[in-house]
Amino acid sequence: MVARQYHPPWFSVAPMMDWTNNHFRTLARLISKHAWLYTEMIAAETIVYQKDNLDRFLAFTPEQHPIVLQLGGNNLENLAKATQLANPYGYDEINFKFALICGCPSPKVAGHGCFGVSLMLDPKFVAKAMSVIAANTNVPVSVKCRIGVDDHDSYNELCDFIYQVSSQSPTRHFIIHARKALLNGISPADNRKIPPLKYEYFFALQRDFPDLRFTINGGINGVDEVNAARTEGAHGVMVGRAAYHNPWNTLGHVDTEVYGAPHSDLSRRQVLEQYQVYGDSILGKYGLNRPNVRDVVKPILGLFHCEPGNGLWKRKADAAFQHCTGRAVACGFDGVALFVLLALCKLSRTLKAFFEETLVAIPNSVLDSTVAEAPSSCIDKFANSKNLLPPPYTTSEQEILYAEML
């Protein structure tokens, strides 16, 4: 399998809609060579219906390996077709995610049916979906899920789900977001904050399913907490928003602190020089103004998190984005003419010109410094979880009989 040539997925960056696109993954790989990267969740129907435009959704540079494609969907035929269409791109794993996407406004999801965490209540379908995906690829498959849904949040119900999916499909890797999901109308953002984290469920799964591999996700904000989870026995750790909002101080420590690589002399200036080459090569690649400078710059807006000059740099960036708008309005353009002018203006601006205009706000000492010393270990975040473990899971005779009959 392709994935075996890389370091294990001890650290991975969580898939995030409209965030973990090609631009962010390019930046992430420039900072960390070993972190496992995930695509945004892509609906199977998007891949099937856009089969003549697949590069826009599936293409990535070889440097992004190891990389996992995350699929969503509730139609087995489309999941099979999407997997087949994705195979030539050479992903290292395919993940099936339970996401809060009913009514999601993202164009990658909207219009493709209602699916998401409610599928946790249908492990038989999930097992079929995983079997279909696995049958159409030669790379490993995995599931990303919550620990429960609404009132279906007991540890035994979670174990029933894991047991049925793993016994009825080739799935051996589960990524566990250690919160349940609430389907009572709260937003996806609130679903990331309101349900309490129950790390004890995660560690209990590792106890009760020793033949499976589990990655912990949810509320983990830096490599100190990553290593704390791994010290407590986590097979892998997935970090989301911390990696996106503060990539330098999160991803910058992964190779040395998680994978034991030698310290790097890489600076943010060097990262931006390489990212500029990528950015200028991709501008307008998928038609007029797709992507534009704003799209390409978005992932690097957290590169100077809490550093001197960060606020001024962001104000300069915003002014640069607004520059074309101001010129067009001042010249009296409106309607279609204004739209075309704005598109051409953004398309003509290069990332090189953007950096020349904005990076004067960042001191050279910040641009040229290497990653600072890693923060001290957060030893208490998971230690108490072992004291809260639920009783061991016991598979019922009916479930065993059902699994053997399949």
Residue 298: φ, ψ to 5°: -50, -45
- Separation CA 94–CA 113 (nearest Å): 21
Q: Is the bond into 391 cis (omega within 30 degrees of 0)?
A: no
Contact 117, 183 (CB under 8 A): yes
Q: b/e string for 305-334 if b means 16 or more Cβ within 10 A?
A: eebebbeebeebbeebbeebeeebeeeeee
Report the candidate in 259, 232, 246 with the shortest Cα–Cα distance to residue 378: 232
CB atoms under 10 Å from CB of 29, counted, come to 22
3-state secondary structure of 143: strand
3-state secondary structure of 316: helix
Catalytic member of 102, 104, 114, 331: 104
Specify burial of residue 40 (Cβ count, 10 A radius: 0-12, 13-18, 19+).
buried
Annotated active-site residue 104? The verdict is: yes
Give me the residues paired with residue 238 across strands. 12, 217
Residue with tokens 């049925």: 164
- Residue 199 corresponds to which tokens in the numbers above? 């790390």
Whole-angstrom CA distances from 168 to 94, 115, 143, 164, 209 are 18, 21, 13, 6, 15
Which residues belong to the active site?
104
